[in-house]
Amino acid sequence: MSRYAHPAGPRHADVLPEDNPPSPPQDLAELDPRVWPATATRVGGELAIGGVPVSRLAADHGTALYVLDEDDFRSRARDYRAAFSEAEADVYYAGKALLTKAVARWVLEEGLKLDVCTGGELAVALAAGFPADRIGMHGNNKSEAELARAVDAGVGRLIVDSFDEIDRLERLSAERGRVPDVLVRVTTGVEAHTHEFVATAHDDQKFGFALSTGAAEEAVRRVLAAGHLSLVGLHSHIGSQIFDTAGFEVAARRVAAFLTRVHSEMGVSLPELDLGGGLGIAYVPGDAPLAPDTIAKSLLDIVRRECETHGLPVPRIAVEPGRAVAGPAGITLYRVGTVKDVEGIRTYVSVDGGMSDNIRTALYGSEYTCVLASRESDAPPMLSRLVGKHCESGDIIVHDLYLPADLRPGDLVAVAATGAYCHSMASNYNHVPRPALVAVRDGRSRTLVRRETEEDLLRLDVG
């Protein structure tokens, strides 16, 4: 079982029995290259990313601060592109992991397509000048307005997720005299090895049409019968933060088998098969993510084999990595505010952010790596818990970690691998304004999303 896997339900400090804390690492200052962005290094003891020391980032932009290593993000995007290039597969970056206008432009420049799942994500992509025909749009409850906007903009692929949506999209397309390209999202019944909240291919959940109940077959028939929808393929996504190929392989085999049934029973050979995202990343040393070319080879082999066995043309494959591109490229920088020793138990280190900028620990029991970033220290390790400033005892960023025993208010700490699903899942809980997001590269930082202010929050409060 992966480190990410956790017993069902959210993890809450108050109700969990105390687990055994891990043993301290050999070197508290070490930056494990599997966990930290490619350009992370220590200069005179201080952490620098993209050639910019954290003290300068904090001085120029304040804390808490999301910092994105642009080179790291781009090189991971390129690795995916390259891994799937032999089959001319499409690689869609999943914008739900992290999306800003600049990020959308990087994705475009690196030759990827873009997956959006709401009108908001579509709006960011279009505002960035991302070509609509390179966008795929998901969502289990796309509104009339979202669908109309997608059809009007000429979004390249609409991934339909319910019978209601098929009817709605057919009507909207007919009204406009358009015929959008559509994929049917199928659920394959695969139990992905990940946290239950982020597994999406078992039958008992809200996404897609189940293969096992016949709903997927019915959806294909209905889209084929619709006069203003063009069925180009199938879609399957099994879940997120997955470390082994087994789940992907079973899912690929099942959708490929379904493709052959569609061919034999309905006389249609669908030209595309999108296998979704879900590749895990290293959050803590010891996590062992799959390399893009390993997963590419295994998926492409299975689909080819299945299709050849049944005499079907091999469809064009697509994948949708989000976390694996954005996650390792980002860190969050915090300033320590209080250091409270709870005698005989542990030390609580409170920082100027928390569950509003990283909900993943509270939501999924996620693990993270954190280091003292503004200086090096040879003080002994101190068993700590990194917590935020919210009015909630479950406001935990890192459950168990070791920090140097001389840690004091004013120090900067950095949490690794926060590039995905932290900024994009941020909230204003307790009216805490959201941190800025900055990109670093070649010794320079630039703001991608500015820090929210209390005025921003008050502007929406019009009562």
Ligand X SMILES: N[C@@H](CCCC[NH3+])C(=O)O
Residue 321 binding ligand PLP, by CB under 6 A = yes
**360 touching ligand X, by CB under 6 A:** yes
The interface with ligand X within residues 172-211 (CB under 6 A) comprises 198
Binding mask 421-460 for ligand PLP (x = CB under 6 A): ----------------------------------------
Q: Tell me which of 233, 289, 322, 354 binds ligand PLP, using CB under 6 A.
A: 322
Report, in Å, the least distance between residue 425 CB and ligand X. Answer: 6
Q: Is 247 in the site for ligand PLP (CB under 6 A)?
A: no
Q: Is 364 marked as a binding-site residue?
A: yes
Please report how the helices 119-127 and 144-153 are oriented relative to each other, as an axis angle in degrees rounded to 10.
Answer: 30
> Is there binding between residue 98 and ligand PLP (CB under 6 A)?
no
Is residue 320 involved in binding ligand PLP (CB under 6 A)? yes
Q: Which of 142, 193, 254, 323 binds ligand PLP (CB under 6 A)?
A: 323
Q: Please tell me whether 276 is known to bind a ligand.
A: no
**Is 322 labelled a binding residue?**
yes
Is 191 annotated to bind a ligand? Reply is no
Q: Is 324 one of the binding residues for ligand PLP (CB under 6 A)?
A: yes
Give the range of 17-25, 314-322, 375-383, 428-436 binding ligand PLP by CB under 6 A: 314-322
From the list 117, 370, 391, 422, the catalytic residue is: 391
One residue of 11, 96, 157, 423 binding ligand X per CB under 6 A:
96
94 contacts ligand PLP (rule: CB under 6 A): yes
> Binding-site residue total for ligand X (CB under 6 A)?
7
Q: How many residues bind ligand PLP (CB under 6 A)?
A: 18
- The answer to whether 334 is annotated as binding is no
Q: Is 320 annotated as a binding residue?
A: yes
The CB-nearest residue to ligand X is: 421
389 part of the interface to ligand PLP, by CB under 6 A: no
- Shortest Cβ 459–ligand PLP spacing (Å): 32
Does position 220 interact with ligand PLP (CB under 6 A)? The reply is no
Among positions 110, 115, 395, 411, the unique one binding ligand PLP when judged by CB under 6 A: 115
**Binding positions for ligand X, 418-457, rule CB under 6 A:** 421, 425
- Secondary structure (H, E, C), 266-324: HCCCCCEEECCCCECCCCCCCCCCCCHHHHHHHHHHHHHHHHHHCCCCCCEEEECCCHH
Active-site residue, 391 included: yes
Shortest Å distance, C-beta 237 to ligand PLP: 4
Going by the annotation, the residues of the binding site for pyridoxal 5'-phosphate are 278, 320-323, 421
Binding site for ligand X (CB under 6 A): 96, 198, 240-241, 360, 421, 425
State the catalytic residues.
391
Which residues in this chain contact ligand PLP in the complex, by CB under 6 A? 94, 96-97, 115, 138, 200, 237, 240, 276-279, 320-324, 420
